[in-house]
Chains A and B, each alone.
Chain A
Amino acid sequence: MIAAHLSILQVVLPLTAAPLCLLARREVFAWWVSLAAAWMILVNAVLLLDRVVLLGPIGYDLGGWAAPLGIVYHVDALNGMMLLLISATAAILLPYARRSVLREIGSERAALFYAALLLCMTGLMGMTATGDAFNVFVFLEISSLSTYALIALGQDRRALTAAFQYLIMGTLGGTFILISIGFLYAATGTLNMADLAARLPLAENQRAVQTAFAFFIVGISLKLALFPLHLWLPNAYAYAPSVVTIFLAATATKVAVYVMLRFTFDLFGAHHAFAGVTLARVFPILAGLGIILASLTALYQDHVKRRFAYSSVAQIGYIVLGIALMTPSGLTAGLLHIINHALAKGALFMALGCLYFRLGSMSMSALAGAAREMPLSAAAFVIAGFSLIGVPLTAGFISKWYLLLASLEHGQWLLAVIIVGGSLLALAYVWQVIEQLYFHEPPEGRPSVTEAPSSLLIPTWILVVANVYLGIDSSLTVNLADQGMRALLEAQP
């Protein structure tokens, strides 16, 4: 019986848990509620994906109102995979969050923090699960508004300006998407995604639809931080609390990529001349420039979280690169990189969170020699860094390899060179940090520190081991990405 409601539970569970946290106001209670919610949605997401893979896409009519009039949820292998990614990140992150939040945010405001985090999860889940175009906008704003609040909770005062910057750019992006949805409604008279997919091909030469596409692609590129619309991201990631950085880096931009995929491939249709040209001609250039320039910028960052925030911009470039090839192998590679980059960046920011927990600073000089006193955190950083670079036997290697094969198969030698070049730059910016950690003397007068607490280390190492395991046996992730790619292409009009 409950099985029929799996797709809506995915959104309703965190949505109900959030006000509970607010009402209780006690840190202990709020944490337990969030933890319970996160683990329940993880179980839920696994059950959901299992059903979807076995039995095909699941639809759900909200309030019993049937499809074209009511709002529907529609889960297939692609968004099932994304839901699993978000819930797994949340489930691993929450045990880690307790100590980190107590240290960085304090017990008085912790309940508010968990409420905002749950709302952010709700928004991301909703954007992913829904089958209604306007609903995407509503959930996008739920996740964005809670993200601005979460970023502003950072200890540094620069967190406030970073949150404000993101608020301005995020709202612009959101409003652009709203304009786009308005034009789509004007051209087709429907907001249901399946209906839109059926009607848009008939209206594809209308100026309104082309305008809608232009607004949509700019708006969503802002949200997914595609170069050169990435300016909000480095500061937001750098100054947000550790837990927020981990969660955002692993999920937020990926969900925006998912929305872009769904709209461009299933709604507008990639065969649509206008959408096709943008994807095939413009996106590879932006993605390539993003990979090279963001990686180069990362080399010169002294703030370590900011350094890896720039790396995130570069990695978004890899994902978009795979998608812009528009071949099945390119899409699989892009989707695979969504999963593997979430694993690598999640583990990496978790390791940095462990170091920050004891060292209290994220500047390069503060990390000097820390590997002696915090060997486990430093080792976790090294392995996660290798996965980010794409060293063989780590998850990052698998997706870069698929990307490389996909671009060669497409005859794109230049893109292949960029992929390899970006990895070399990644090697450089990861190595600089490793060198600080292992081969430099600790700064004079730093009080001696101990290893991070096990509640931080265990979740970190779970992700690190996952990076290695999925780098050796990649059948699970490749299979998920492959199913997702098929679901995307099958739904195409």
Chain B
Amino acid sequence: MNVLAHYPYWIIILLMMAGFYMLIAHGNLILKIIGLNIFQTSVFFLYILLGKVEGGTAPILEAGFTIYSNPLPHVLILTAIVVGIATTALAAALIVRIHGAYGSIEEDDIHRQDASL
């Protein structure tokens, strides 16, 4: 069954949409960032999945193993994970400052205080 054979991709799509929905639907800034994180993580999975070779092992030269997974997407996604951490850290710092300035991290409260946003 073709649809079921691709189940890892379905998991990725589900995670991606869940994160995206959380990002849009929630007014709490922390929850938005968690949603963004889930969204990004689904992309990490996508990359890791791309490198997977059926029956392959970790790409380390060792007698008796001939099939290896492709390490390149894994290396690439390390970079993207670092970017994700930096984004989350910066967002958290901004939320602290927003809380200091508005006394709230709810989008509705902030909009009430500054109508032009």
Contacts and interface: CB of A to CB of B under 8 A. Distances in A.
* Size class of the A contact interface (CB-based, 8 Å): 20 to 34
A158 interface: yes
A160 B98 contact: yes
Given A161-B110, A164-B95, A149 B43 contact: no
B101 interface: yes
Interface string A226-244: 0000000001000000000
B97 A152 contact: yes
Contacts of B72: 185
A179 interface: yes
B43 A175 contact: yes
Contacts of A191: 76
A175 B117 contact: no
Contacts of B110: 161
B116 interface: yes
A186 interface: yes
A164 B116 contact: no
A163 B97 CA distance: 11
A182 interface: yes
Contact of B117 (A134, A138, A149, A235): A235
* Size class of the B contact interface (CB-based, 8 Å): 20 to 34
Contact of B101 (A157, A185, A186): A157
A134 B76 contact: yes
A310 interface: no
Interface string B19-59: 00001000001001000100110010011001000000000
B5 to A, nearest CB: 16
Nearest to A306: B116
A436 interface: no
Nearest to A142: B83
Contact of A303 (B29, B46, B116): B116
Given A168-B36, A175-B40, A182-B47, A161 B114 contact: yes
A167 interface: yes
A147 B47 CA distance: 27
Given A138-B79, A161-B117, A186-B50, A171 B36 contact: yes
A76 interface: no
Contact of A178 (B32, B80, B95): B80
Interface string A138-175: 10010001001100100001101111110110011011
A138 B83 CA distance: 8
Contacts of B102: 157, 161
Interface in B89-112: 90-91, 94-95, 97-98, 101-102, 110
Contact of B46 (A145, A149, A182): A182
Contacts of A164: 29, 91, 94-95, 98
B38 to A, nearest CB: 11
Interface string B57-84: 0000000000000001100100110010
A182 B73 contact: yes
A210 to B, nearest CB: 16
Interface string A434-450: 00000000000000000
Contact of A149 (B80, B90, B95): B90
A481 B68 CA distance: 48
20 contacts: A141-B83, A141-B86, A141-B87, A161-B102, A164-B29, A164-B98, A168-B32, A174-B83, A175-B40, A179-B46, A182-B47, A182-B73, A185-B50, A185-B73, A185-B76, A186-B50, A191-B76, A235-B116, A303-B116, A306-B116
Interface of B: 23, 29, 32, 36, 39-40, 43, 46-47, 50, 72-73, 76, 79-80, 83, 86-87, 90-91, 94-95, 97-98, 101-102, 110, 114, 116-117
Interface of A: 134, 137-138, 141, 145, 148-149, 152, 157-158, 160-165, 167-168, 171-172, 174-175, 178-179, 182, 185-186, 191, 235, 303, 306
In the A-B complex, the 9 residue pairs with the smallest Cβ-Cβ separation, listed nearest first, are A157-B101, A141-B83, A160-B98, A164-B94, A160-B97, A186-B50, A171-B87, A182-B47, A158-B114
